[in-house]
């Protein structure tokens, strides 16, 4: 038994808000990969990191979220201060 995943990528087209986007589909695990997060899959390679999904709807939601790129932004300072104040109030 192997502990290494060797994907068999297939390039697919999916519909995202009436436009076609290219994504990757692994025939072995039946998982979808975001081609924006892991472009290596388009060439059939093994991505270092990426976003993987069990269904096409979750992949579409992820692609739509790329315009906000919340995972790349730092947490706002104001939210951190408010949470610290709440924690102090709970301790009292």
More confident residue, 67 or 28: 28
pLDDT of residue 29: 92
- Answer for the pair 41, 9: CB distance below 8 angstroms, yes or no: yes
- How wide is the angle at C-alpha 16 spanned by C-alphas 10 and 18, nearest 5°? 120
The owner of tokens 């610290």 is 84
pLDDT of residue 66: 86
Backbone angles phi, psi at 88, to 5 degrees: -65, -40
The owner of tokens 């025939």 is 27
- Answer for the pair 37, 49: CB distance below 8 angstroms, yes or no: yes
Q: What is the pTM of this model?
A: 0.69
């Amino acid at each position: 038994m192997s502990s290494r995943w060797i994907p068999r990528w297939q390039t697919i087209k999916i519909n995202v808000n009436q436009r076609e986007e290219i994504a990757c589909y692994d025939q072995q695990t039946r998982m979808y990969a975001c081609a924006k997060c892991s472009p290596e899959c388009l060439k059939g390679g093994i991505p270092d990191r990426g976003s993987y999904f069990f269904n096409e709807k979750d992949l579409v939601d992820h692609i739509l979220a790329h315009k906000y790129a919340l995972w790349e932004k730092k947490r706002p300072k104001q939210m951190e201060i408010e949470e610290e104040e709440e924690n102090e109030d709970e301790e009292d």
